[in-house]
């Protein structure tokens, strides 16, 4: 059966997806002179050569069109201490709290850059593929930085901090 003719998936599939543990990231960009951003739990490393990420964005998301038009973005992989920042980008009701100057570097020549997290990257948007209700973004990191620490993950419709595994 062709992919586009597949039978509808039951509502239970949302529960299946909710049980897929994944890292979370804030994706940021400029919309003219305004910083925009959203939280994604669909980010994954795509390749090392070239250094690429892949993430998905719901087409109805407020930042989708700005991100699609921007050509570049910031990626901040979040750590265990970043839950409050994550919630600002997960909820439109907290949008006014986003991009505080003490937490974000807002230089016009680069995408907005989070000062926290486990890792950050300045990325060029290479391609955007249609995937039904979402768009799949493939981006190449042009600069990156790493900070050691435990990650923040999405699992079962909540954000959870993972504790480091004790070394023997």
Please state the domain extents for the chain. Answer: 22-149
Please tell me the predicted confidence (pLDDT) of residue 1.
41
* CATH 2.30.110.10 fits domain 22-149: yes
Share of the chain above pLDDT 70, in %: 92
- Give Cα separations from 93 to 30, 65, 87, 96, 98 (angstroms): 20, 19, 10, 8, 11
Please tell me the predicted confidence (pLDDT) of residue 9.
63
Share of the chain above pLDDT 90, in %: 74
What pLDDT digit, counting tens, does each position of 74-94 carry? 999 999 999 999 999 998 899
Q: What mean pLDDT comes out for the span 128-138? A: 96
Q: How far apart are CA 95 and CA 115, in angstroms?
A: 18
Q: What is Dmax (Cα atoms) for the chain? A: 53
- Can you list the alpha helix ranges (DSSP code H) found in 10-79? 12-18, 64-70
pLDDT, averaged across the chain: 91
């Amino acid at each position: 059966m062709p992919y586009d003719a597949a039978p509808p998936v039951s509502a239970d599939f949302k529960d299946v997806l909710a049980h897929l543990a994944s890292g979370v990231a804030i994706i940021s960009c400029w919309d003219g002179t305004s910083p925009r951003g959203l939280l994604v739990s669909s980010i994954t490393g795509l390749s090392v050569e070239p250094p690429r990420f892949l993430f998905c964005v719901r087409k109805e998301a407020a930042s989708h069109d700005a991100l699609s038009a921007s050509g570049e973005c910031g990626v901040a992989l979040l750590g265990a201490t970043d839950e409050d920042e994550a919630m600002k980008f997960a909820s439109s009701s907290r949008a006014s709290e986003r991009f505080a100057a003490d937490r974000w570097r807002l230089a016009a020549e680069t995408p907005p850059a989070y000062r926290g997290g486990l890792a950050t990257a300045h990325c060029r948007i290479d391609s955007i593929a249609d995937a039904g209700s979402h768009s799949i973004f493939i981006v190449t990191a042009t600069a990156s930085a790493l900070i050691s620490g435990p990650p923040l993950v999405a699992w079962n419709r909540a954000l959870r901090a993972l504790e480091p595994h004790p070394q023997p």
